[in-house]
Structure formats: structure tokens, C-alpha cells
Structure 1
Amino acid sequence: MRQTELSAVAAGYQMFQAALLDGRLRPGQFVSQKDLGAMLNLSVGALREILPRLQSERLLLVQPKRGIQIPVVDLPMIRDAFQLRAALEREAVVQAIRKVEDAVLEEQRHRHEEILAQLAQSDGHHVPVDGQKVDEDLHSLLMNATENELLMQAHHLNTIRMRMIRLDRIKLTRITLPSAFADHLAIIDAILMRDKHLAIDAMDLHVANARDRAMEL
């Protein structure tokens, strides 16, 4: 395959992920190869190059005679995604204890406290627009501390699944944000204390709370 074709395939892969995350492709949706190719601005040949990868990553299903289906967000998907998240992020907090400096963690604490203060000032009616980014940035910081490309790649793919679940079932709201951020602050404090067992327990509780919110709906 020529370099231009490789570039088109790589761009198409990224555009597919973007379409999942911005809601153009919804869980359970069927789409034809023609329509998907048009959405991603890919030729038929380039689309066929990325379909096996996307299917192996369980980001889509190729259904004979029916087309391409975006996976349904169901209880098995939620269970599997959160179980993988727990395993990855346990290792992340262990490595963060060893590698992330206090000043970086204190900055994370400050960002969380700012969002909580903004929520309180709005009487809890409006979720600060940066709340989701602060949430995601903490998890990215912890995973990057592993300095392990395989773990980070697995986390990236699982994050896409988590965002699909979030779009379909859970979002940070004025109800869920204080609880999620309280979990985050407990994780940050445990890492600052350099207490491995406390940090793992805090992360496990956070993931379990998020999983339970998703499975209740």
C-alpha cells in the first residue's frame, strides 16, 4: 500500500473514533459500507483496510446481509469495559506513586476543587463546562505514569468504549459530579501519601461507583 493510502487509512481510523464520540455513530446503529465510507471520506478499498482492525477492537460488528453495526451498550459490555478499566488503573496508581511529583498532584487537586466551587456557586444547577476534561485529564495523567505503550494503547481503546457508555448512559451531572470528584480527590490524596494499598482501594471504589451508575440505567 502506498504512503498516501496508508495516511488515508490512519486518518479514517481516527475519524471513525471521532464519529463514535461525537454521536454521529450511535450504539446499536446499522450503517452501510457506502454510507460509512462517505462519512469518513474513505474509498471502498481504504475502508476495507480498517474494518478488520475496528472489528478486532470490538468497535464495530460486520453483520452479513445487514451491514455494519455499532456495538450495543449492554450489561456485558459495561461489565467487561469496567473490569478492564479497573485492572489498568490499579497499575496506573501504583506507578503514579513512584513517578508523579507532588506539585503535579496538587495542581490536579486544585483543578478539581475549582470545578466543585463553580458548581456550588451555581447552586448546583449548571455543570461547569471543564468538568469532563478535568475528569479525563486525571485518568490520562495516571495512565501516562506507567510509561508502557501497550497499557496506554489498551487504555485508549477502552476509553473509547467508556465514552460510548457515557454517551448512552452516564454523564457528569450536577448529581454525579460531586461524587465522582470526591473519589478523585481520595485517589489524589492516597497517591500524595505514597500509600499503594490506599490508592488502589480508592481507585477500585471509584471504578465500582462509576460501573454501578452505568448498570443502574
Structure 2
Amino acid sequence: MATVDEIEVPVRLREKAYDKFKQHLLARELRAGQFVSQRELVKLTGLSLGAIRELIPRLEADGLLKTVPQRGLQIAHVDVNLIRDAFQYRLFLEREAVMLFATNATSETVAELRRRHKKIIAECESTEKRKKPLTPELMDWAEETDFSLHRSIVDALGNAIISEAYRINHMKIRLIRQQQTSFLDGRIVPAMKEHLAVLDAVGKRDVERAVDALTRHIRIAEDRALGRAAPDTERVNLVS
């Protein structure tokens, strides 16, 4: 009979393989719709062929990869159906979660999130005034701050299964951004301001307003992904 350690080792290896794949996906070293072979994944991740073969069924189950006969492995392909499905799932889940977040989030949590968002806005506007391009560090910080708010909202549900499912859907959202629209091209400041509208409502414990602000933010993101950019009149003003 296998010991506990003998059982845990392959489990840890599978988790390591999954984490490695996600890292390369988020680093844009793997692109939506790209075809890759098992051996290419071995070279990219530094993992064994056995680990990659064990990883494939999980990635297929999560909708991040599929096996195409005669062609090999394909990273999730971005199309209208994926965009609509991913954003519908996100909207359904986050609307429910933000009601609890608006009730239970601590004042300290809200204040820290607001501080980070305002600092990013200030950095972006300062860079724009100097007619300089945004630095990779600032763009990475904005991306992480964007996710940190949404992650905090969903985690407020206190449900590990939902939180993990949300993170998988977030991977698909990242693929959509890479393929269809650039979060980092003129979108950082408007997105941060939309977040501040949500946080302002949360800080005032205004559940209905928080739901409305979050819904609007997600709808704008979906419209951009589908090529239906919101008009200037729809932009959110910075909340003081």
C-alpha cells in the first residue's frame, strides 16, 4: 500500500505543472489559439514529459487547452462564444459576491484598495503628461491591482470551490484581453476609476450602488472585448 508521502509527491508535481503552465500563459509566452506539442511544453516549462501528460486532462477540463486530431494541442481559442460565456459567468458571480463584500469588507481593506488605485491613476497621468510610455512595472502593477479587487470581491463569499473556479475563468479573461483588446492601452485609468466607483459604494455600505457600479464596469469590459467600446459619455469620473 502506498504511503501518504508517496501519494502526495505526484499530487505536488501535478500542481507544480499546472502553476508553471499558468505562469507562462500569464506571461504571454503561450497565446490564445496557439498550437503546441507536448515536447514544446516540456521545453517551455522545464517539466518532465510525464508531468505534461498528466497535466493535459486537467487543462482540457478547465477549458484552457484542447486536443485537435492531426494537429496537436491548442491553447483555448478566443471567439465570440468564449467572450460571452466568460463575461456572463463573471457577471453572475461577481454581482452576488459584491453584495457580501459591500457588507463585510473592512474599512482598512477598502482604504488600501482605494489608495492603490489612486496611486496608479496618478502615476499613469503623470507619465502621460511627460509624454512617456507606461513602464512594464506600472502595467504589471495595474494588472495585479485590477485582479486583486475582483479576487477580494469573490473571496468574500468564503467558498474555496467558487474562488478556484473564478481563477480559472480569470485565465480565460486574460486570454481574451491578449487577443481582442489591450487592457494596457489607454484602458488603465478608466478601469481604475470604474473600480473606485465600486469601492466608493462599498465604503458607504451602499449595496445597490456597488452592484450597479460593478455591473457597469464588467459590461464595459465585455463591450471592449467584443469590439463595442463604450462612448466617452459612459466613462466614470474619479471619485474623491
Q: What's the TM-score, normalizing by structure 2? A: 0.83
Letter in 2 for 1:206: H
2:90 counterpart (79, 85, 89): 85
- Provide the secondary structure at the position in 2 that maps to 1:69: strand
User: Which residue matches 1:23?
Assistant: 28
Equivalent residues, number: 217
User: Which residue matches 2:178?
Assistant: 167
- Provide the secondary structure at the position in 1 that maps to 2:226: helix
Letter in 2 for 1:104: T
* Separation of aligned partners in 1, 2:15 and 2:127: 43
Change (3 A) 1:131 1:42: closer
Identity of aligned residues (%): 35
Pairwise CA RMSD of aligned residues? 1.9
* Separation of aligned partners in 1, 2:128 and 2:42: 46
Letter in 2 for 1:71: A
* Separation of aligned partners in 1, 2:72 and 2:225: 28
User: Which residue matches 1:156?
Assistant: 167
User: Which residue matches 2:193?
Assistant: 182
1:53-132 alignment, distance < 5 Å: 53-123=58-128, 125=131, 126-127=133-134, 129=138, 130-132=141-143
* CA deviation map 1:63-108 (0-9, x unaligned): 1221101111111111111111111211221111221112221221
1:195 aligns with 2:206: yes
Could you list the runs of 5+ residues in structure 1 that have no partner in the other structure? none
1:205 aligns with 2:240: no
CA apart distance, 1:2: 4.6
- Provide the secondary structure at the position in 2 that maps to 1:216: coil
User: Which residue matches 1:47?
Assistant: 52
- Provide the secondary structure at the position in 2 that maps to 1:172: coil
> 4+ residue runs of structure 1 moved beyond 6 angstroms?
none
